Each structure stands twice: as C-alpha cells, then as structure tokens.
Structure 1
Amino acid sequence: MILGGLPFLQLDRTGVALLGAIALVGIGAVSPEAAVQALHLPTLILLFAFMVLSAQLRLGGFYAVVTRRLATLPLKPPLLLGALILGVAALSAVFSNDIVCLAVAPVLIDACRRRDLDPMPYLLALACAANIGSAVTLIGNPQNMLISATLRLSFGSYAREAIVPVLLGLLATWGIIVGQVRGRWIVPQAAGEAIPIRRAEEELPAFNPWQSAKGLAVAVALLGVFLFTPWPREVAALVGAGVLLTCRRLHSRHMLGLVDWELLVLFIGLFVVNHAFQHTGLATDAISGLAAAGVPLDQPVPLFAATVLLSNLVSNMPAVMLLLHTATHPQAGAILALASTLAGNLLLVGSIANLIVADAAARHGLRIDGRTHARVGIPVTLATLTIGAGWIGGWLALGTL
C-alpha cells in the first residue's frame, strides 16, 4: 500500500488489497465464510448508493451546468476563486468528492480558457476544496462513511463539530492560493492560443432539468432522514438509489457504469486483510507498546498525529481501518474523520480527488505534477490541520469544564 503497487507488476492499490485478500483465503488464514463476515456491509451499501446518486446527477448534466454558471459569474478572478471553492465544497459535502472533481474539472478548464484565465489555480482549488468540503459531513467521502457506519455517530452532531474548521480551512485555502498567484490570473494571449481547447460540451451530458431535479430531491430527502429519523442510513440510501434506478430515460446500465466498482473492490480487500491483521494480535501489541512509551492512541492528540501520519503512508482508508478499533474517546470519530480527510491534500497521491484533477488537466494540455501540487497542498494541509487540531482542542477543553 505504501508503494502504491508491486514492482514489475501492473497493480495499483486496489489490486494490492485484492491480491492480499486472495492470498489470505488461498493459504487458509481466512476462510471464505470469515472473509464474507469481515465485510462491513453498511459502509459498502452506503458508498454504493451515493455512487448511484452521483451518477444520476452526472448523467443529468447537473455538475456541468453548476460549474458553467459558477465560472461565468461576473466576478473578479480572486472572488471567482472564492465562489468556486464554496460551490465545490458544498457539492462534496453531500456527494462524492471524487465524482465532483471528475465532473467539474473539464468544464472548469474550458470556462477558464474562455475568460483567458489561467486554469491552474482554479484546478488546485478544486482538488483542495473537494477534500476539505467532504469533511463536513459523514457522507462526504468513503472514510467518513466507514467511521459513521462503524461508530454510529450522530449526523447532525458531527456536522456541528466540523462546520467551523471546514469553513476556516476553505478560507485559508483561498488566501494561500490568492497569495501565491500574486495577481497573475490572466494567461498571455500567445500562450493561450498555443494550447488546444477541448470543449467540455463534447465530453459531458447535456443538462436535463428533470433528471437533475430527481437526483437533488432524493439527496434532500436522504439528508432529512439522516438528520431527523432513526432509519438506518445505509437502508435509506439504498432505497433512494433504487428509486433513481427505476427510470424511463436513464438506462441502469449507464448509471451502474459510473459506479466506482474499483473503489468498492478496494474496500472489500481491505476489510478482509484488516480482519486477518487484527486477529494476529500485532495491532494490539503495537498499541500497548506505544501506550507504554507514552503514546496512547486512544487519546486525542496521539490519535490525531497517527491518523495524519498513516493517511500519508498508506492512504486515508487503510489508515482509518487500522485505527478504528482505538476510537474509544468521545471525540475519536471527529478526530479520525477530520484528520484523515484534511491530510489528503498534503501530497498529489494522498487523495483520489487530486489524481482525478491532475488526469483531467493532462487531457487538456496542462501538467499538475507532485511539485506543482505541493506548493499549494503542503501549506493548505498544514493550515487546515492546525485549524482542525485547535478546534478539536477547544471542544475537548469545553468538555472538561
């Protein structure tokens, strides 16, 4: 997982996780029945259901039309950047941050070029805002879904805890990017003409008001269920996905084709491997050893630091799986969710959303490499983690009064 693949083999992290699970079953360390029982179905169901919801909105052209309207606002470039950051963060809080980046990036590049704006600061803002905004709810990203389903956190209580550090983090992101641009928002005409423009209209579905309205109605209904009813979130989300799949216009084949099956396979492999690892006792011994050395992971500060470190070593999902069983403190869920999500902006490979934006940029003649991303990602991550740690520390202090 640290390497991102196996040398000399065409495997990514998903392939590594799946191969690990297959190896464990193959050598008899985990029986097929135990492997199935290791899967956390509420998380998988919730993740699948929201992928279907995002597919509905993507096929309905909702993401594209929102991006175009944001990008054509009669605002000066710094204010336009702020509007983009808030808009992307709001979308990512309810829908998958990865899907938001996938749908928004090509439209954003096209819109920036129409206005002779340099797309680079806006693309970096897109990636950072999608990650930060997804931290404000328990459905904004996969690791938050896992934390929510495992610890059964209150949807409303978590949002109240996370909203302030997320908003401050978005403000810090805007300030950092504006400070780095230093007024150089406009692309020189010669440079702009040298890059071929690929029309986003050729890549994305046309806007369909009815299909978009259906997706938004289901999303609003689900938020209401999560906030005001005891109905299990995964069941409610699955029912919502079923409603959307029952459609006369959008074929289920097209909607299911937009489901990120690779991410679901990654989860399945990690659940099996993590189950086997926990039964070795190595994790318990390591936690006991750290506690004896004065680093108790069941306490807020060590848990926060361990989450940030592991999220950048093995990515945030495996990190959360490894640390979930130490989440006994009342604030452990919020710490895991905020720290693992905000840490994803540090490196280009730290978040799938970052890679999606970089890939979209490459297809349009722009290059976002590790160094380019780090110039924004490192200060943004340090600022947001500092804000998050300070806010959680304030909650802890109030709790002791």
Structure 2
Amino acid sequence: MAMSSTIKVVLGSIAFAVFWVLAVFPAVPFLPIGRTAGALLGAMLMVVFLVISPEEAYDAIDLPILGLLFGTMVVSIYLERADMFKYLGKLLTWKSRGGKDLLFRVSLISAISSALFTNDTCCVVLTEFILKIARQNNLPPQPFLLALASSSNIGSSATPIGNPQNLVIAVQSKISFEKFLFGIMPSMLLGVLVNAGILLGYFWKLLSVERGPEMVEAGDMVVENEVSSHRFSPATMSHLSSVNSQEMGSAIDAVHEGEGLGAVGISQRVSVSRSRMMSPAGEVASEANSEERNGTNNDERWKRSLWKICVYLVTIGMLIALLMGLNMSWTALTAALALVVIDFQDARPCLEKVSYSLLIFFCGMFIAVDGFNKTGIPSALWEAVERYSRIDTVGGIILLSAVILVLSNVASNVPTVLLLGSRVAQSAASISESEEARAWLILAWVSTVAGNLSLLGSAANLIVCEQARRAQFYGYNLSFLSHLKFGLPSTIIITAIGLPLIRTY
C-alpha cells in the first residue's frame, strides 16, 4: 500500500497517538478520560482529520467480532450464576497436599477455564477466592496471583473464545474452532506446565511453609461462613433473622431496664409468647409451618438444580457447535439468547453485567487502527522487515515473534493483531495455504503469551492486580517490578518452546 499524502500521514499519526496513549495509559494527568473514551476520541479524530470518511469508519467496525464477544460474555455471566466458578474453586482445595500442589492446581484450572470462558472472566471470579485459600493455608498470595494471571493468559491462547485478540484472528482468518484448538493446544499445555515449574522454582521456599492446626480450623471456618453468606440472600434470610432478634432483644432489654407495671407487662408478654410456642397447638402449627417451608425449599432447590443443568447443557451445546465449524458469532449469540429464555425472568440484571465499555472500546479501536492503516505507515514498516520475517525459516520466526512481543507490550495485543494480521497472512500465503493458517496461529500464540511479560501486558494482569488490591480482608498489592522479574523470563521461555509445536491439521 502506497503512502498517503503528508498531511494525512501527520494527522493520522496524531489521531492514532491519542488513541494509543489513552489505551495504554488511561489515567494520564492531562486527559484522564479512560480507555473507552480514549478509543472513541482517536476514532473521531480520524474522521474529523479526513483520514477516513464516516462511511469507511462504519465499515471498519467488525460486527461478527462484537457479536462473538457479546455472546461469550453473556454465557459467562449465566455460568457464574450457575455456580460454575464456585465448583472450579472447590477443585482447588479438594484433598490439597500443600502449597506446591495448590499452585499447580491454580495454574491448571485457570488455564482450562480461561480457554472456555475467557481469561478476563476467569480472573475476575477467581482472584478473591484464591486470596482466601492462600490465607486459609497460611501461604503468601503472590505466587498464586501470578499463577492465576499468567496461566489464564497462556490457557486463553488455545481457543478463539479465550481472549479478544483470538476473536479477531478467528474471524479474520476464518480458521475453524477445531483447527484453532488442535493447532495451539500442544503449545498451551506445555506452556502451562513449564510456567508452573518456573513458579515452583521461583517460590519454592515460600511454598514450603507448613501451616499449624489452629490455622486449618480457623481457615476452614472462614471459608465455610463465606460460602454460606453468599448462598442466602440478605433480603430474605438475614432480614428476617435480624428482625426477630431485634424484637426479642428489645423485649429483654425492657425487662432488665424497665420499672413497675411496664416491665411486668413486657415480661408477661414474653412469657405468654414462650408458652404459646411451647403449647401443643403451637408445636403443631410450628411443625406444619416447618414442613411447608421445607417443601417450598425442596421445590426451589429442585428448580434451581434443573436450571443449572440446562445452563451447562446449553454451554456444552455451544462448544460442540463451535467444534463442528458453525458460525462462531451466531453460535455464541444463539447460546446467550437460549440462556436468557431458559432463565424465564427479566434479563436486564444479567445484561447489565456485560462490559459494554469493552464493546465500545473495540468499535473505537477498529476505526482508529483502520485509519492508521490507511496512512500507509504500517505497510511501509512491514515491507522493510517482511523479507526477514518469513515463517518458513527459523530466523524469520524469531524476528517475527520478537516484533509481536514488543508491539503487544507497547501498543497492546489487540491493536497489534489488527495492524499485523493481514500483512503476516499475505506474506505466508505466498508460501502455501497451510503456512498462512500457521502464521495466524503463531500470531495468536505470541501475542497472547506476550501479555505475561509485564503487568501492563494484558487486561487479565490488571484485573488480578486490582481485584487483589481491593479484596476485603485479603488485600494485596502486586507490584510492576515483582511481576516483571517473573514475567520477562517466563514469557521468553514459553514463547520459544511453544512455537515449534504449532501446527495446522
């Protein structure tokens, strides 16, 4: 693609620079408007500066990607309501044999759940639970937080629905779900195991701390109480119990503090109430009410169990449809709407949990990246390194991977995929069709694992960091430097060992 006019190149670069700065540093002092507004500002500047026309801006928005992202988010929300992630959390503690075993479980479970339910969702749901488990076992939280974030990133590389950049790659490349899965899965599995081994070696001494029996009992009590508190709604169980306790407490206080007939009258009412409760008629009524409540509770439990089974069946059906090669966007949307219908109630509370700011961010990013592409700068830069980055040579793969790693940490992984994807694929297509598909998978693998290099490398890292910092009673600050000491060597090693295993079948 030829370079545009000088004025268009300059204005397009300015608009893209505004988008990039606000996307990477959303709280810059001179314009703290956040990532989503920053993406819209960059997109608007592309149109205002006449780098692209309004019609071209609308065409740049990729609706299949937005549909797939929206559908997977809705499915993840209903899976969370169906206690899927609570069951995953229980797997972490089931017959655990200490810190090292727990670290390995965190790595494996977060990797698998991220591949199926996106890495961001996995990190949002599991972070605080992992902090609770670390406290219960008297273990330092840092190894487990790093295991969650890094394994979620690595695990999400295996499927098109694991992370946003894979969604973009799957839609643009038209690679089937099955081909994508089996092409990257060997690299993903080995990467998760090696990443867990690096973490074990890095934190071996810290994970060798033995917990005392008193910590076991206290920790188990804390977790059990917390599970119970989440199981019952405060508007029903807690409210009723608090009203009854307040009434009884006020009556007893009045007996102790009152004088004369007032106190006697109150004490008589309390004794009468107690006698009624102890009378045969009262006992019969109490037993009848108890049986009625038990029957209602049993019906509610049965209905909820049936609903949860339906949610899991719909999700399994979605995965089977994806493996069969059906349209990924419409499959995800169909599964999402099926869950809305099965729920048989107002879907607004669930739909309000969808990250619409992320969808809007993608719209702005599509326009900003398309405008920057039309300046001709990305094409000129790629032409300068294309002959050295061919994937049919070892040196070319190393150079291409280095470029993707750097750009993914400088410009973020999704813009990197949008900027490089079509160019890398075109270069590989001149070799063979299978090499073109392999180039897309290499881009997916490297851009995803690149998120582990630094704390700012992926949204999953930032989610874990922020969730850990805000967690009540378990707050922990994961610093940029502590993450970099582990992330830099881990990213380079895992990227290198995974590249030879990527194949197209």
Q: 1:228: Cα distance to partner?
A: 1.8
The answer to whether structure 1 residue 347 and structure 2 residue 454 are counterparts is: yes
Please state if 1:238 is matched with 2:333: yes
Please list, as runs of the form range in 1=range in 2, the aligned pairs for 1:129-208 lying within 5 A after superposition.
129-185=151-207, 186=209, 201=227
Deviation of the 1:187 alpha carbon? 8.1
Q: Deviations over 1:213-241 (max 9, x none)?
A: 33322221122112224x31111111111
- Please, which moves more after superposition, 211-220 or 347-356? 211-220
Counterpart code for 1:217: L
Which residue of structure 2 lines up, in the alignment, with residue 368 of structure 1? 478
Whole-Å separation in 2 of the counterparts to 1:297 and 1:22: 37
1:253 aligns with 2:315: no
Using the TM superposition, give the Cα deviation of residue 315 of structure 1 relative to its aligned residue in structure 2, in angstroms.
Answer: 0.8
**TM-score, L = length of structure 1:** 0.88
Unmatched segments (≥5 aa) in structure 2: 1-19, 233-300, 429-435
Q: Is the contact between residue 71 and residue 112 of structure 1 (CA under 8 Å) also seen in structure 2?
A: no
- How far apart, in 1, do the equivalents of 2:476 and 2:215 lie? 12
- Superposed CA deviations along residues 70-98 of structure 1, whole A, max 9, x for unmatched, are 23433232122112211111111111110
**Distance in 2 separating the partners of 1:73 and 1:191:** 17
CA contact (8 A) 1:89 1:130 kept: yes
Q: Is the 8 A contact 1:61 1:204 kept in 2?
A: no
2:415 alignment partner, one of 318, 334, 340: 318
Structure 1 residue ranges without an equivalent (≥5): none
**Aligned equivalents of 1:250 and 1:112: distance in 2?**
38
**How far 1:368 sits from its partner (Å)?**
0.4
Structure 1 residue 301: deviation in Å? Answer: 4.1
CA offsets 1:2-44 (integer angstroms, 9 cap, x no match): 5524441113333322110122233443333322111111111
1:4 to 22, 25, 36: 25
Matched with 1:276 is 371
Question: What percentage of aligned pairs have identical amino acids?
Answer: 32
Equivalent position of 2:263 in the other structure: none
Matched, 1:85 2:192: no
CA offsets 1:316-350 (integer angstroms, 9 cap, x no match): 01111100121232211101100000000000011
Q: Which amino acid is the alignment partner of residue 4 of structure 1?
A: F
Alpha-carbon RMSD: 2.8
Instruction: Return closer, same or farther for 1:383/1:295 CA change in 2, 3 Å cut-off.
Output: closer
SS in 2 for 1:223: helix
Quick one: which of 218, 225, 228 aligns to 2:321? 225
Equivalent-residue separation in structure 2 for 1:241 and 1:57 (angstroms):
11
Report what 1:16 is aligned to: 38
Per the alignment, residue 265 of structure 1 pairs with 360
Mapped to 2, the partners of 1:60 and 1:389 lie a distance apart of 37
Q: Kindly state the Cα deviation for residue 154 of structure 1 after the two structures are TM-superposed.
A: 2.3
Structure 1 stretch displaced more, 39-48 or 256-265:
256-265
Inter-CA distance 300–32: structure 2 relative to 1 (3 Å threshold): same
Aligned AA (2:56): A
Which region of structure 1 is more displaced relative to structure 2, 306-315 or 201-210?
Answer: 201-210
Q: Which residue of 1 is the match for residue 491 of structure 2? A: 381
When normalised by structure 2's length, the TM-score is 0.71
Deviations 1:117-175 (A, max 9, x none): 22221111011111000011111111001100000012222222211111111111111
Aligned equivalent of 1:104: 126
For the residues of structure 1 that align with 2:114 and 2:53, how far apart are their CA atoms?
Answer: 38
Amino acid at match of 1:388: G
Cα 1:204–1:141 change in 2 (3 A) is farther
Higher helix share: 2
Q: Is the 8 A contact 1:56 1:212 kept in 2?
A: no
Query: Bigger CA drift: 96-105 or 381-390?
Result: 381-390
Structure 1: how far apart are the matches of 2:486 and 2:345?
A: 39
Pair 287,21 (structure 1): closer, same or farther in 2 beyond 3 Å: same
SS at 1:246's partner residue?
helix
Which letter does structure 1 place at the counterpart of 2:411?
V
Does the CA contact (< 8 Å) of 2:68 and 2:328 recur in 1? yes
Q: Give the one of 400, 404, 407 matched to 1:303.
A: 400
3-state DSSP of counterpart to 2:33:
coil
> Secondary structure of the residue that 1:43 maps to in structure 2?
helix
For the 8 Å contact 1:139–1:145, the answer to whether it is kept is yes
**Counterpart amino acid of residue 184 in structure 2:** A
Greater mean deviation of Cα atoms: 303-312 or 85-94: 303-312
**C-alpha contact (below 8 Å) 1:176/1:379 kept by paired residues:** no
